[in-house]
Amino acid sequence: MIKIFYYIKCSLLLLSLSFLAGEPLTKEQKDKINELSKEIDLAHDFTLSSIDDKKYVLSEMKGKVVLINFWATWCGPCRMEIPDLNELYSKYNKDGLEILGISVSDSKRSLINFVKAYPMDYPVLYGSGLEMDKVTSKYGGVNSLPVTFVIDRDGRISKYYPGALLKDYNPIQYANFVYHLETLLRPKKIKDDSSKKIK
């Protein structure tokens, strides 16, 4: 996904440069810029199953703030994140936060056994090797674990965090992360036009 961002930004830059060079943008170019701008940070959709046999479709979660956490049972830092993610889920789920723990390489059986030792209060998703390749490729390949994407209520990628988000290890980063979540979870203010006087 980082590569996709790069190519889209390059396309926008090239189109903008043609305008700066003195050549006015055509209607097609303007439409293309608008189209690319809308898609640049849109989270890619996927459908995966949880270990308790529920289907999760990302596009059906619009209206919620979604934390996508790519992880694996063999990943030490991933295991260290679980208590903090449980705490976030417990505190903010009622406000519209959903956390999806997507295991990139574990089977359903191994995950069921894992959560007995490491309880996970949020949905734990899995898929076949082919399914996981498709999902992870949409999100930049996920070359290291853990990786967390924050999706806003409109289904757009708001933040990307490579590496573990640990409250005790890096409190400043964690505090900024939580502040960002709280900002996204705040209800959108509806503009009140009643104060405008009729002239």
> What are the tens digits of pLDDT across the range 82-98?
999 999 999 999 999 99
Structure-model confidence comparison of residues 146 and 33, the more confident one: 146
Residue 195 inside a domain? The answer is: no
58 and 155 assigned to the same domain:
yes
54 and 32 assigned to the same domain:
no
pLDDT band per the 50, 70, 90 thresholds, residue 10: low
156 and 71 assigned to the same domain:
yes
Sheet order of strands, 55-57 included: 55-57, 47-50, 124-126, 97-103, 65-71, 147-151, 157-162
51 and 17 assigned to the same domain:
no
75 and 121 assigned to the same domain:
yes
Number of domain units in the chain: 2
pLDDT band per the 50, 70, 90 thresholds, residue 1: very low
Per the CB < 8 A criterion, the answer to whether 30 and 5 are in contact is no
30 and 85 assigned to the same domain:
no
Helix boundaries (H) for the chain: 2-20, 27-39, 76-92, 108-117, 129-138, 171-185
Give pLDDT tens digits for 109-152.
Answer: 999 999 999 999 999 999 999 999 999 999 988 889 999 999 99
What is the model's pLDDT at position 9?
Answer: 53
Residue 33 inside a domain? The answer is: yes
149 and 52 assigned to the same domain:
yes
17 and 103 assigned to the same domain:
no
Q: Is the pLDDT assigned to residue 155 strictly greater than 50?
A: yes
Residue 80 inside a domain? The answer is: yes
Asked if the peptide bond before residue 146 counts as cis, ω within 30 degrees of 0, the response is yes
79 and 176 assigned to the same domain:
yes
CATH code assigned at 113: 3.40.30.10
10 Å Cβ neighbour count for 38? 10
Q: State the Cα–Cα distance between residues 165 and 177, nearest whole angstrom.
A: 8
29 and 53 assigned to the same domain:
no
Q: Which long-range contacts (CB under 8 A, 24 or more apart) does 110-114 make?
A: 110/73, 111/51, 111/73, 112/51, 114/73
Contacts of residue 154, defined as CB under 8 A and 6 or more positions apart, other chains included, come to 62
Three-state DSSP at 130 gives: helix
Three-state DSSP at 57 gives: strand
Q: Is the pLDDT assigned to residue 38 strictly greater than 80?
A: no
Residue range of the domain that includes 128:
47-185
Q: State the Cα–Cα distance between residues 13 and 112, nearest whole angstrom.
A: 48
Residue 199 inside a domain? The answer is: no
Three-state DSSP at 188 gives: coil
